[in-house]
A and B are shown apart, each in its own frame.
Chain A
Amino acid sequence: MTIDPKRRFDPYALTWRMPIIVWQVLFFIGPLVFMIAMTFFLVKNYRMHEAFEMKNWIKMLGRGFFWDSYFLTLGLATLSTLCATIIAFPAAYALSFKVSANIRRWAIFFLIIPFFTSYLVRTFSWYVILAESGPINAMLAYIGLGPYTMLNTKFGTMVGYMTLTLPLVVILQTVSLASIDRSLIEAAHNLGCGRVRTVFTVIVPLAKTGLIIAAVFCFILSFGDFVAPYYLGGSKPPTLPIMIIDTTKSGQQWPRAAVVAVMMMVTLFTVAFAAIMVAYRKKT
């Protein structure tokens, strides 16, 4: 009888694997299972009771305001992903192909610096900049325009999302573009492909995986962000993260908030999985 070496019990390998398994079970799977269970609990007199009822699901998913918020959040996150991808690409392109490796290293270093300061603080600085009496409107007034309301609008939300996601998207896109084999770009030129056309026919397909991964990160961060839509977007109509806060604050409805959270997780899983499938799809 032969023993498959892969299935033989190996205490040494297991010892090194254990910490990450324990960590994931304790702090990811555990809370997730509890959250799913909580969606079936009931709240009476501001107290949660263990139960197994569909009430929370029916209450949340049966109402128009949940779905309005759901599609609003989905739309905003999608728009944010598109904006970030399109705004970041020229910057990543320039960093990958137009500057020296030394400048690229510095640029990536400076793109990491925003993460040193709290995202909340950076958002509040936008609060000042975008205000009706803020510097942007002052400049626009100087050339006879405005004032424009930028706070408490979807534009404000978008500015917040970009603050959160752009540095990361630029970094991820740059890493993926910089790893492209230059001779492929030269080969495209050599075969009669102009500069702009080469970007779309050769560079984008070559960097596809990295560009999609960057977009997925942008979508995940925007979809779950509470700060931008709350402080810069004015929280009305609420996005799903705002709805979670509102639901827990009003009447201790933790189970209903859990329903929203589970719906968000399902959405993110679906989007991320589909995107990764597209990113790594190969022609057969």
Chain B
Amino acid sequence: MSDPLVVFENVVKRFGEFVAVEKMNLDIQQGEFLALMGPSGCGKTTTLRMLAGLEQPSEGEIRLAGQVMNDVKPHERDTPLVWQSLALFPFLNARENVEFGLKMRGLDAASRKAKALNWLDRLGLADFAERPVDQLSGGQRQRVALARALVTEPQILLLDEPLSALDAHLVIRMQGELTKLQRELGITFVYVTHSQSEAFAMADRVVIMGDGVIAQTGAAREIYRAPANRFVAEFVGRNNILAGKVTSQVKTAATIETPAGKFKVNIPKARSFSRGDRLSFAISADLVHLSDKNPRGDNVVPCTLISEEFVGSVITLFLESADGTEFKAQIQERELADIDLKSGSTLYLSWPAASAHVLED
């Protein structure tokens, strides 16, 4: 693999007493679509702003294409950012907004205009070039912001929750367009978001951050199926998280005693536990089986239904076991046809031991 485009080496960012980013080490590859994801205040936007030079790291080093960027002024870098608010200049029309970066680089008026129009055309805005930006729709403004950032042909594009102000159906469409654009251009996209669906839909690699620390890095599938720790398991997807004491272990198969009952899990090879150790594990809500008859066997929890969330083909059921532990189950709507949910009778959740994923702490 070639040298990474961006390297964060032991980067720390403090705002007074508050540590926004703590000892971050991260490589971003050439041509990669990387999503930085986490709850608000996790340091993802600060990380992005440090990359754009809008914040200086308190410690550590950020390198872009091999060059140390710590003291490079924001206007001396080519790291265009697409703002959450889009930050389009209201006193310029769409074309002039796109031309802005080229003008700052001293390009002559004719080539500026040609390049700007070319980009507006590429993003389907050819007819809106001379419109003031406040007369464009949300999706059109979004594209103007993208064109403005991409017109200088940068190596890297930074995006700070750019889709959060759009309608749900537009978000889906823009996701597709962004992915396509990134493939075509072959440049690095660093995309900050708190939305799992956006990050998972677009990114080659997802970085989950919490409290200024990277909690897990990996492909979307990997993070979804094998969350590294409790934080990731809680933040990503709908996981049932259980914790308890190891009561017995035969090779990789261990029995865990939790308040909700005794469950069998497979211990990963790299880990070893002895009797009495605490261990937590997650079972994704879509790997849980639901039945109104006791299926007998391992990993069965009798529950009562609390509420349900119907969004179409998939239903999420919220259940509670006798001891008060909450469970979630995502079931295909058609599978529920012969299960009686209304009467309030006991339902049985079950899963194979292989579906339980052991978490690091």
A residues bordering B, Cβ < 8 Å? 181, 183-184, 186-195, 197, 202, 205-206, 208, 282-284
**B105 close to A187 (CB less than 8 A):** no
Mask, B68-104, CB within 8 Å of A = 1, is 0000011110111101010101110100000011001
**B105 close to A192 (CB less than 8 A):** yes
**A193 close to B87 (CB less than 8 A):** no
| Known A190-B81, A208-B91, A283-B91; further 12 A-B contacts with Cβ < 8 A | A188-B89, A188-B100, A189-B73, A190-B79, A191-B75, A191-B152, A192-B101, A192-B104, A192-B152, A193-B100, A205-B89, A206-B90
B contact face: mostly helix, strand, loop, or mixed: loop
- The residues of A that contact B156 with a CB separation of less than 8 Å are none
**B83 close to A191 (CB less than 8 A):** no
Q: A12 → chain B, closest Cβ, in Å? A: 36
**A194 close to B132 (CB less than 8 A):** no
A181-B87, A206-B91 in contact; A193/B104 too (CB < 8 A)? yes
Q: Tell yes or no: B52 within 8 A of A by CB.
A: yes
Q: A127 → chain B, closest Cβ, in Å? A: 44
- The residues of A that contact B80 with a CB separation of less than 8 Å are 190-191
Most chain B CB neighbours (cut-off 10 Å) among A188, A189, A205, A282: A189
Q: A28 → chain B, closest Cβ, in Å? A: 35
- The residues of A that contact B100 with a CB separation of less than 8 Å are 188, 191, 193
Q: B71 → chain A, closest Cβ, in Å? A: 15
- The contact of A189 among B54, B90, B93, by CB within 8 Å, is B54
Q: How far is the CA of A206 from the CA of B87 in the complex (A)?
A: 12
Q: How far is the CA of A280 from the CA of B298 in the complex (A)?
A: 74
Most chain A CB neighbours (cut-off 10 Å) among B79, B100, B148, B152: B100
6 closest A-B pairs (Cβ-Cβ)?
A192-B104, A187-B87, A191-B101, A189-B74, A183-B87, A205-B91
- The residues of A that contact B54 with a CB separation of less than 8 Å are 186, 189-190
Q: A73 → chain B, closest Cβ, in Å? A: 33
A contact face: mostly helix, strand, loop, or mixed: helix
- The residues of A that contact B52 with a CB separation of less than 8 Å are 190
Q: B346 → chain A, closest Cβ, in Å? A: 54
Chosen A-B contacts, 9 in total, with CB atoms closer than 8 Å, are A183-B83, A186-B83, A189-B74, A190-B52, A190-B54, A190-B80, A192-B105, A193-B75, A197-B104
- The residues of A that contact B104 with a CB separation of less than 8 Å are 191-193, 197
- The residues of A that contact B148 with a CB separation of less than 8 Å are 191
A190-B80, A191-B104, A205-B91 in contact; A284/B75 too (CB < 8 A)? no
- The residues of A that contact B90 with a CB separation of less than 8 Å are 206
Most chain A CB neighbours (cut-off 10 Å) among B91, B93, B152: B91
Q: A206 → chain B, closest Cβ, in Å? A: 7
- The residues of A that contact B81 with a CB separation of less than 8 Å are 186-187, 190
**A190 close to B74 (CB less than 8 A):** yes
B residues bordering A, Cβ < 8 Å? 52-54, 73-76, 78-81, 83, 85, 87, 89-91, 93, 100-101, 104-105, 132, 148, 152
- The residues of A that contact B53 with a CB separation of less than 8 Å are 189
Q: How far is the CA of A197 from the CA of B78 in the complex (A)?
A: 17
Q: A232 → chain B, closest Cβ, in Å? A: 39
- The residues of B that contact A186 with a CB separation of less than 8 Å are 54, 74, 81, 83, 87
- The residues of B that contact A202 with a CB separation of less than 8 Å are 89
Q: B28 → chain A, closest Cβ, in Å? A: 18
Which residue of chain B lies nearest to A202 when distances are taken between CB atoms in the complex?
B89
Q: How far is the CA of A282 from the CA of B90 in the complex (A)?
A: 10
Q: B131 → chain A, closest Cβ, in Å? A: 10
Most chain B CB neighbours (cut-off 10 Å) among A189, A190, A202, A205: A190
Q: How far is the CA of A205 from the CA of B93 in the complex (A)?
A: 13
Which residue of chain A lies nearest to B90 when distances are taken between CB atoms in the complex?
A206
Q: How far is the CA of A203 from the CA of B164 in the complex (A)?
A: 26
Which residue of chain B lies nearest to A187 when distances are taken between CB atoms in the complex?
B87
Which residue of chain A lies nearest to B106 when distances are taken between CB atoms in the complex?
A192
- The residues of B that contact A282 with a CB separation of less than 8 Å are 132
Which residue of chain B lies nearest to A184 when distances are taken between CB atoms in the complex?
B87
Q: How far is the CA of A258 from the CA of B81 in the complex (A)?
A: 61
**A187 close to B83 (CB less than 8 A):** yes
Q: How far is the CA of A189 from the CA of B55 in the complex (A)?
A: 12
**B91 close to A284 (CB less than 8 A):** no
- The contact of A283 among B75, B85, B132, by CB within 8 Å, is B132
Q: How far is the CA of A186 from the CA of B91 in the complex (A)?
A: 16
Q: How far is the CA of A206 from the CA of B88 in the complex (A)?
A: 12
Q: How far is the CA of A282 from the CA of B53 in the complex (A)?
A: 33
- The residues of B that contact A206 with a CB separation of less than 8 Å are 89-91
Which residue of chain A lies nearest to B158 when distances are taken between CB atoms in the complex?
A190
Q: How far is the CA of A190 from the CA of B149 in the complex (A)?
A: 9
Q: B24 → chain A, closest Cβ, in Å? A: 21
Q: A81 → chain B, closest Cβ, in Å? A: 22
- The residues of B that contact A184 with a CB separation of less than 8 Å are 87, 89
